[in-house]
Amino acid sequence: MTTLESSPPPTPECDKLAKRTEEWNVIYPFIEHLYEKRMTLAEWRDAKKMFKEEQEEAKETETEFKYKTLEDFKFWHSFLLEQPVPMRLNQLDDLLYEYFGVDPVKLEQERRQLLEYMRNLQKQRREAC
């Protein structure tokens, strides 16, 4: 159990994000504003990635992979590759974390550790009274 004298767990990801909170608080509301206006950011599909994913899926499901080359795949999927794909809000969160150099998984772990530390500290203070 944590003692009253112990220090909080290290939180490098929280610290990184805290240093740039002002920026986050400008960028994120703007993205929400875009959604309210029925606008969004979008990304272009990656033909190589799609080709490899479909190849893997064909292997896993033991089905025939119809395309001999990437160029063949691009030809038959050109309609998908010509238009950008709207990003979902959680993808935008991930994009912002990447922009700020923050690992969202580590950030969540740090938050949970910090909450646990605070609960233990509060419990010890109650017991000390």
What tens digit of pLDDT does each residue of 22-62 get?
999 999 899 889 989 999 888 888 888 888 888 888 888 88
In a domain, 78, yes or no: yes
> Rounded to an integer, what distance in angstroms lies between the CA atom of residue 92 and that of residue 41?
8
Domain that holds residue 77: 45-83
In a domain, 26, yes or no: no
pTM above 0.85, yes or no: no
Report residue 110 as tokens.
Answer: 């740090």
- Which strand (E) or helix (H) includes residue 81? helix 78-81
What average pLDDT does this structure show over 52-76? 85
Region of poorest pLDDT, from 14-18, 45-49, 107-111: 45-49
Residue 65 has pLDDT above 70, yes or no: yes
Domain count, the chain: 1
11: Cα separation from own chain's centroid? 18
Find, among 79, 118, 106, the residue nearest to 12 by Cα: 106
Angle of helix 21-36 versus helix 12-19 axis, rounded to 10? 70
